[in-house]
Amino acid sequence: MDSDAPAGVVHQVYGPPGTGKTSYLSRRVKEIVNANGPESVSIASFSVTAAQEIASRGVGLPKRRIGTLHSFAYRSLGSGLNVALDPKVVADWNKTVGAEWRITPDSRRAAPQAATEGGAQNTDMRTAANGDELLAALDRARATFTDPADYPPDLAAFAGMWSEWKQANDAVDYTDMIEGALERAREGEHAPGRPQVFIVDEAQDNTPLETELVLAWGRQASSLVVALDDDQAIMEWRGGDPRRLLTLGQGDEYAVNRYVLDKSWRVPRSVHAVAERWVHRLSLRQEKVYRPRTRFEGDHDTGEIIEGAAYGVPENIQDPVLADRIEEEIGRDRTVMVIASCAYMLEPLIKSLRERGIPFHNPFRPTEPRWNPFGTGNGTSTAERVFRYLVLDPDLPQRELVDEAGHILTVDRSRPWTGDDVRAWLPLVSAEAAGLRRGVKAHADRLPDGEVPWEDIAALFADEDALNRAVSPDLEWLAGAILPSKAKQAAYPLQVARRRGAVALDEKPKVVLGTIHSVKGAAADVVYVAPDMSAAGIGQMTNSINGRDQTIRLFYVAMTRAFEELRLLAPFGPRNYLKRRELLPADLEVPA
């Protein structure tokens, strides 16, 4: 990563699962910043989440130096252009076209950096059937340099009207951003900020169009660093394709320096063996040395390989007994991840977990409400409102916090209500059902932000019985007073509090649910993987080498999330699944 390296040299950093690619990049960026200053380097990542992860490492770069590739591309186009998929902008399109071409407004897609958020998953231009799918199919076709002459009639008609509408509204879609930036880069324009070193993370997920922009900007810089793991390239549905990067230096103008991070800090031997056997089925990949996790004592690597376990279990993803297994594991203070190839496969498990009051989340897809029923950090969630009522509970345990100086602070979670607490839980309840006085909201608004004197608490209530029940605190008093309009949102947090205590509302859930795509880069002690696939996925796998490779990469990512144990679930349907003996060969299986 030398900022004085000649143009045309691509430094490829391969980071197999758990090898600390982000940590490695962060260290190298700090070295470049120390040597050449904070304006010498820019980092582009595939997604907002990945960019934020790098930014959180304290690399010493200004915010404008870290972002998604699309956000950099948008900046290169100048100012004054509307983002076509901003709900306020796309509303005009929806007024212009018929119902069959309307695009679903999605607030997640209002900004340039949000290109990979939301949108239709069906990008097959032969089967795209509505506005969302036609747009996704068009984006994929453009990103893979598909000749417009090969577009089906419906897609061709949609593309023509979409182009005319954007021009009339000074709007650009996400593919326009990349195309426009690439045109400027080929004319000699640098990446925004003119970085000496341009770093691109998660590059295996870039489309051919995005890869060409990366290479073009790299030629304008002194050094181009591309961090990737081709074995984890699972964004083919949007056109993601690592082949251009894998074949760089083969008869073209580029020289390639390859560096492999070869030691996993996550994957134990048993899981590593299964995953390696599986991934070597790929038709095209970069061969690389990759070793399993070893035991550390403090900062010392003992060299002792962690064995772990990888085996099949009798439950399928729709089996209610799976929730029992999950409950057992979190009772042992282990983190659990349950992942599937499609979101709909998780719905029965979500229902079971909600009924049992087992907390779960997906912090890697915070905008997906089905997987984050406690909320996503935007505003005060219903779960937090319930907890703020329950802070009076004397059984709430203490919590240890670390201050900026590194000192450990012990904080009592059980405490008297503050004015902020009261204003948080009060909107949940009916004043009449809760036995509160008339005008209670105005009274609450006047309460101090800090601890509220007892007489002010008592003044909230119309009678002593309601006061006594409320300050117990009585969870069933709260449940009985919930407003009908809030009942659905409050049901799950209330059940969690009943089954696990108030503390469960104030702690990070130990269970992660999501699709395999959603958890790339994540890990858990115990990982359950469903071998099931959609009919379309099975068709893709069996009809082409590329489709087969995509399936191999997808389940490789799934396997390598496991820190201790990989547990392969049984299939739940008669068809559309991978055979477990393919994923877990008998000679590598480690029984429970």
pLDDT at 425 exceeding the cut of 90 = yes
pTM for the structure as a whole: 0.90
The whole-angstrom separation of Cα 66 and Cα 198 is 10
The letter for the amino acid at 143 is A
Question: What value does the mean pLDDT take over residues 215-242?
Answer: 94
Mind listing the pLDDT tens digit for each residue in 243-298? 999 999 887 778 899 999 999 999 999 999 999 999 999 999 999 999 999 998 88
Of 476, 505, 534, the one marking the end of a domain is 505
DSSP 228-284: E-GGG---GGGT---HHHHTTTSSSS-EEEEEE--B-SS--HHHHHHHHHHHTT-SS
Quick one: pLDDT at residue 4?
46
Instruction: With respect to residue 92, please indicate whether it lies within any of the assigned structural domains.
Output: no
Quick one: pLDDT at residue 375?
83
Mind listing the pLDDT tens digit for each residue in 377-418? 667 899 999 999 999 988 888 877 776 667 777 778 899 999
In a shared domain, residues 424 and 545: no
Of 261, 282, 304, the one marking the end of a domain is 261
CATH code, domain carrying 344: 3.40.50.300
Q: How many domains does the chain have?
A: 3
Instruction: With respect to residue 118, please indicate whether it lies within any of the assigned structural domains.
Output: no
Instruction: With respect to residue 590, please indicate whether it lies within any of the assigned structural domains.
Output: no
In a shared domain, residues 245 and 309: no
Q: Name the residue range of residue 577's domain.
A: 294-373+509-583
Contact between residue 370 and residue 343 where contact means Cβ atoms under 8 Å apart: yes
Instruction: With respect to residue 203, please indicate whether it lies within any of the assigned structural domains.
Output: yes
Instruction: With respect to residue 561, please indicate whether it lies within any of the assigned structural domains.
Output: yes
Q: What are the tokens at 483?
A: 């407003």
Cα torsion 461, 462, 465, 466: sign: negative
In a shared domain, residues 340 and 412: no
Instruction: With respect to residue 136, please indicate whether it lies within any of the assigned structural domains.
Output: no
Mind listing the pLDDT tens digit for each residue in 1-38? 444 444 578 999 999 999 999 899 999 999 999 999 99
Of 204, 238, 261, the one marking the end of a domain is 261
Angle at 162 between CA 188 and CA 91, to 5 degrees: 110
Report how far Cα 107 is from the mean position of its chain's Cα atoms. 17
Angle at 109 between CA 104 and CA 115, to 5 degrees: 120
Mind listing the pLDDT tens digit for each residue in 461-503? 999 999 999 999 999 999 999 999 999 999 999 999 999 999 9
The whole-angstrom separation of Cα 202 and Cα 49 is 11
Quick one: pLDDT at residue 210?
97
Quick one: pLDDT at residue 377?
64
Is pLDDT larger for residue 536 or for residue 76? 76
Instruction: With respect to residue 151, please indicate whether it lies within any of the assigned structural domains.
Output: yes
In a shared domain, residues 438 and 525: no
In a shared domain, residues 369 and 430: no
Contact between residue 391 and residue 414 where contact means Cβ atoms under 8 Å apart: yes
In a shared domain, residues 369 and 386: no
pLDDT at 115 exceeding the cut of 90 = no
579 SS3 class = coil
In a shared domain, residues 353 and 225: no
Question: What value does the mean pLDDT take over residues 360-373?
Answer: 91
Quick one: pLDDT at residue 6?
47
Q: Which residues fall within 8 angstroms of residue 370, CB to CB, at 6 or more apart? A: 343, 346, 350
Mind listing the pLDDT tens digit for each residue in 308-339? 999 999 999 999 999 999 999 999 999 999 99
pLDDT at 106 exceeding the cut of 50 = yes
Mind listing the pLDDT tens digit for each residue in 41-79? 999 988 777 777 777 777 888 889 999 999 999 999 987
pLDDT at 129 exceeding the cut of 50 = yes
Question: What value does the mean pLDDT take over residues 434-451?
Answer: 94
Could you tell me what percent of the chain has a pLDDT over 70? Answer: 97
Helices 21-36 + 48-55 axis angle, to 10: 60
Whether the ω angle into residue 473 lies within 30 degrees of 0, i.e. cis, is yes
Helices 347-356 + 487-500 axis angle, to 10: 60
In a shared domain, residues 476 and 453: yes
The whole-angstrom separation of Cα 317 and Cα 312 is 12
Lowest mean pLDDT among 116-125, 177-186, 270-279, 466-475: 116-125
Instruction: With respect to residue 270, please indicate whether it lies within any of the assigned structural domains.
Output: no
Residue linked to tokens 């190839």:
341
514 SS3 class = strand
In a shared domain, residues 66 and 161: yes
In a shared domain, residues 369 and 395: no
pLDDT at 520 exceeding the cut of 90 = no
Listed residue (73, 75, 78, 51) closest to 63, CA to CA: 51
In a shared domain, residues 498 and 517: no
The pLDDT confidence band at residue 591, using thresholds 50, 70 and 90, is: low
Quick one: pLDDT at residue 434?
95
Computed over every residue of the chain, the mean pLDDT equals: 91
In a shared domain, residues 473 and 545: no
Q: Which residues fall within 8 angstroms of residue 372, CB to CB, at 6 or more apart? A: 361, 362, 363, 365, 366
